A and B are shown apart, each in its own frame.
Chain A
């Protein structure tokens, strides 16, 4: 079963790479028409360029080469034909990871806490406040909340820097305190989904027969919550947390644009606008692999944390 999951994940990544490659192939124009711009009418130049960039070989061959490279970490060259993609992407990936980890460190514990609190105090003041906030966080577009926060915290109060001016290659430590506002916005947005999920799962578990039984067995309230209710209520949250993490690592384009943060998301937009397709392909592959891996990790974690699943695979 475990092996099956891993294999399925692998299959998904393969299909993604196929989709990415085929998608780019099917688009009108290629790297050369783009590179040459208005000179592309010149047949000779075009042919020369295609020869230089190896575009004349059958797509299958190039796909095989591309995937081979990707597996060994060599993502090839960008559309200008000189820069190595791995160097461009590397810095951005580091910055995106930095942002994602900061947001996770704030958002996930907060979301779990809020979810549990509003589930336990269902329909009472803490729940009403948290649930209303969650609705706002889920519905208001990120660029709106980001814009409003900049307006209040940066423009009016002047507490935090509103945009990031640090260059992409700078070490992680130099991103403080500029990173704080984007982290606040991201945690706010990601918090909402996880919190709602946890809340509804806590409510279900608190109404379950085994929680009633624990109460009637005389287990003190908090002991009941921590021993009997929460371990079961938090299980289904694993998958939502995974989806959120995948979303965070997948480049949070809008936020990065609003705060001028040099992460993968902005690189993606810039590359798409410049039609720097090799870079787009590489980013897509990285992000998709992260998605698959995080979800795989969530499945495995669920399997380990859920005694039903665990015993199913261990005791047989």
Chain B
């Protein structure tokens, strides 16, 4: 018997009024219904209206947004015309939200205990005397350690994962019947994310909740949702069961989105989905996706496709959904550039590099106190061959960016050497390096908003290295700039734009163009795709790979995303707390035998495939500084041998040529 929908959104259009007085829609005629026990995933690029839709389910619209038309019902209650008291009872009561960024969603001046008590006071029928017990019970339900101690803490005293759990506990306080989750794990480390996803999955099953899960991370959606809805430019373009949508998407956009996700079980680069979604203020004629669609024809540009309901249960907004199979043939996977021959020269060697941020305090200097904390980064020895891409992976705080900054001369090394081209030692201070060496090493930063001067046009940005290293000016400068822009697939007309007039992907391309303008030997990439949407990420990865094939550039590629690193690197080093755990060719590191930490990391990766479950090994505790002695991973290692791990630095074991694991467990047992 089909259940009546619990959350029912009908023909909802939401918009804002622009400065010129026009109404600009951000959601257009969206339908969504969720029954009890259902969990629906809502996916789409940034700005596609996911959060707006999720919040609309609670009858809430951000300041400036208003309903143009449509209905929102919760268990038969009209959420758009409801009396204020009743709405307050529903919100956080029967219908609870787990927000995008718990760090900012917990009130900073109230203790954890107070905030959860507030939820209990408002929405549960517990007597006031048992609030404390209730809070502790909730905190242990979300598997937080030491719940009693936590109640007294302020939000800023918790790690990101802990804050997220507190937000979940708060949502559970009222025993809700429906949960709305807005990107609850974005920005968390893989292991933390995997743990929280498992927790949510269990909760949903135990309590028969109706769930709406908003995310741009298809891996997370695959883990908790049984149905998926794909949004594009404020419209629903595809709905269906999780299996249907994630394994055989019937809409060209969903197809492209899935193809752009790098996966652990593939060696090739993901496929880029070119272009960008239209801004809400742009007038759309025909299909909103037409500019980026490989199947688009004349009809697509002239009339907008309706949402077709198929017998299989899916709904597709596409004229040519039956031709989707063609897409698989049209696009052969772009092959990765070949691994570098081992006999190539070394481009850069790091010899026993150590970096420490802590300066001895005046007092301890005076009294010669010996309490210097262990170095942030230590014992880094790597040789990088010419034309090779070395990936550096690890969780946040593992010292990846520190290593790059040290190579670039922005953070002084404590000890060790950086040697360029086998013979030329680089000074640790950038000011003391000769210009010829400076040109050879370029860096690309994580966030292009911060790495491009907001007051410079693209032309000025590109002129900086060209003037500095090649003394170009006038027409040669312009010609060279245009040539470089073309290399990163941007046209000449971009020259006069300011960064604020570019999309995220375009900005990152300009940043890449600036690095390549120096014609460097080595490029340091610091999380260069983390600030980008997946589809844009694929395009940037592809670009980096093409450029490298042309110029034979050497990359050091830092990322927390194991699949991305796998897609682009030849060799990978896994870092924990600033120490190398494992290093070797990609294929070797991503397959057994593993270092216990690599194993834990890989196990926690969520694949966009409902049939693949993560294997949770280590817990997700956050460590602030490495241990003084022994193995850096000792506190979280599930296979820890005993006191030897606490006292002795694990020896390097060469498992295969070039594949080294630092662990006390013997080679055969790994």
Binding site for B on A (CB under 8 A): 207-221, 227-228, 231-232, 306-308, 311, 315
Alpha-carbon distance between A220 and B110 when the two chains are bound, in angstroms: 17
Residues of A within 8 A of B101 (CB): 209
With A210-B104, A216-B97 as contacts: A308 and B156 at CB distance below 8 Å? yes
B58 contacts partner chain A, Cβ-Cβ < 8 Å: yes
Question: Is A217 a contact partner of B119 (Cβ separation < 8 A)?
Answer: yes
Contacting B108 at CB < 8 Å: which of A219, A221, A232, A315?
Answer: A232
Consensus secondary structure, chain B interface:
mixed
Residues of B within 8 A of A307 (CB): 108-109, 154, 156
Q: Can you sample 17 A-B contacts with CB below 8 Å?
A: A208-B104, A209-B99, A209-B101, A210-B105, A210-B107, A212-B99, A213-B97, A213-B99, A215-B91, A216-B55, A217-B170, A218-B90, A218-B91, A218-B123, A228-B110, A307-B108, A307-B156
Question: Is B154 a contact partner of A308 (Cβ separation < 8 A)?
Answer: yes
Residues of A within 8 A of B174 (CB): 218
B60 contacts partner chain A, Cβ-Cβ < 8 Å: yes
With A213-B99, A219-B122, A307-B154 as contacts: A232 and B107 at CB distance below 8 Å? yes
Residues of B within 8 A of A208 (CB): 104
Alpha-carbon distance between A221 and B88 when the two chains are bound, in angstroms: 9
Query: Chain A's nearest CB lies how many Å from the CB of B203?
Result: 18
Alpha-carbon distance between A216 and B171 when the two chains are bound, in angstroms: 10
With A209-B101, A210-B105 as contacts: A219 and B118 at CB distance below 8 Å? yes
With A213-B99, A218-B92 as contacts: A311 and B154 at CB distance below 8 Å? yes
Residues of B within 8 A of A209 (CB): 99-101, 104-105
Residue interface mask B67-99, A partner, CB < 8 A = 1: 000000000000000001100111111001101
Query: Chain B's nearest CB lies how many Å from the CB of A234?
Result: 10
Residue interface mask B448-470, A partner, CB < 8 A = 1: 00000000000000000000000
Question: Is A213 a contact partner of B88 (Cβ separation < 8 A)?
Answer: no
Residues of B within 8 A of A215 (CB): 60, 91
Query: Chain B's nearest CB lies how many Å from the CB of A15?
Result: 22
Residues of A within 8 A of B84 (CB): 221
B298 contacts partner chain A, Cβ-Cβ < 8 Å: no
Alpha-carbon distance between A219 and B96 when the two chains are bound, in angstroms: 12
Residues of A within 8 A of B361 (CB): none
With A217-B119, A217-B122, A219-B118 as contacts: A210 and B92 at CB distance below 8 Å? no
Residues of A within 8 A of B105 (CB): 209-210, 212-213
Residue interface mask B167-210, A partner, CB < 8 A = 1: 10010001000000000000000000000000000000000000
10 cross-chain pairs, A with B, having the tightest CB-CB distances, nearest first: A218-B92, A217-B92, A209-B104, A218-B91, A213-B105, A209-B105, A307-B154, A210-B107, A231-B109, A218-B88
Alpha-carbon distance between A200 and B406 when the two chains are bound, in angstroms: 41
B619 contacts partner chain A, Cβ-Cβ < 8 Å: no
Taking CB atoms and an 8 Å cut-off, the chain B residues in 483-512 that contact chain A are: none
Contacting A210 at CB < 8 Å: which of B58, B106, B122?
Answer: B106
Query: Chain B's nearest CB lies how many Å from the CB of A266?
Result: 43
Q: In the complex, what residue of chain A is closest to B104 when comparing beta carbons?
A: A209
Question: Is B108 a contact partner of A218 (Cβ separation < 8 A)?
Answer: no
Residues of B within 8 A of A212 (CB): 60, 62, 99, 105
Residues of A within 8 A of B97 (CB): 213, 216-217
Residues of A within 8 A of B100 (CB): 209
Residues of A within 8 A of B108 (CB): 210, 232, 307-308
Query: Chain A's nearest CB lies how many Å from the CB of B484?
Result: 40
Q: In the complex, what residue of chain A is closest to B174 when comparing beta carbons?
A: A218
Query: Chain B's nearest CB lies how many Å from the CB of A173?
Result: 41
Binding site for A on B (CB under 8 A): 55, 58, 60, 62-63, 84-85, 88-93, 96-97, 99-101, 104-110, 118-119, 122-123, 154, 156-157, 167, 170, 174
Question: Is A214 a contact partner of B107 (Cβ separation < 8 A)?
Answer: yes
Query: Chain B's nearest CB lies how many Å from the CB of A86?
Result: 40
Alpha-carbon distance between A218 and B88 when the two chains are bound, in angstroms: 4
Contacting B107 at CB < 8 Å: which of A207, A228, A311?
Answer: A228
Q: In the complex, what residue of chain B is closest to A203 when comparing beta carbons?
A: B63
Alpha-carbon distance between A14 and B92 when the two chains are bound, in angstroms: 56
Query: Chain A's nearest CB lies how many Å from the CB of B260?
Result: 29
Query: Chain A's nearest CB lies how many Å from the CB of B364?
Result: 15
Query: Chain A's nearest CB lies how many Å from the CB of B184?
Result: 13
Residues of B within 8 A of A228 (CB): 107, 110
Alpha-carbon distance between A232 and B122 when the two chains are bound, in angstroms: 22
Residues of A within 8 A of B55 (CB): 216
Query: Chain B's nearest CB lies how many Å from the CB of A127?
Result: 14
Question: Is A216 a contact partner of B91 (Cβ separation < 8 A)?
Answer: yes
Q: In the complex, what residue of chain B is closest to A206 when comparing beta carbons?
A: B63
Q: In the complex, what residue of chain B is closest to A305 when comparing beta carbons?
A: B109
Q: In the complex, what residue of chain B is closest to A307 when comparing beta carbons?
A: B154
Most buried by B among A214, A216, A221, A227: A216
Alpha-carbon distance between A219 and B90 when the two chains are bound, in angstroms: 11
Most buried by A among B55, B109, B170: B109
Query: Chain B's nearest CB lies how many Å from the CB of A218?
Result: 4
Query: Chain A's nearest CB lies how many Å from the CB of B146?
Result: 15
Residues of A within 8 A of B90 (CB): 218
With A207-B63, A311-B154 as contacts: A219 and B88 at CB distance below 8 Å? yes
Residues of B within 8 A of A220 (CB): 85, 88
Residues of A within 8 A of B154 (CB): 307-308, 311
Q: In the complex, what residue of chain A is closest to B170 when comparing beta carbons?
A: A217
Query: Chain B's nearest CB lies how many Å from the CB of A114?
Result: 21
Contacting B93 at CB < 8 Å: which of A218, A221, A231, A308?
Answer: A218
Alpha-carbon distance between A208 and B62 when the two chains are bound, in angstroms: 11
Question: Is B110 a contact partner of A216 (Cβ separation < 8 A)?
Answer: no
Residues of B within 8 A of A217 (CB): 91-92, 96-97, 118-119, 122, 170
Alpha-carbon distance between A306 and B107 when the two chains are bound, in angstroms: 12
Query: Chain A's nearest CB lies how many Å from the CB of B149?
Result: 12
Query: Chain B's nearest CB lies how many Å from the CB of A232?
Result: 6
Contacting A216 at CB < 8 Å: which of B60, B89, B107, B157?
Answer: B60
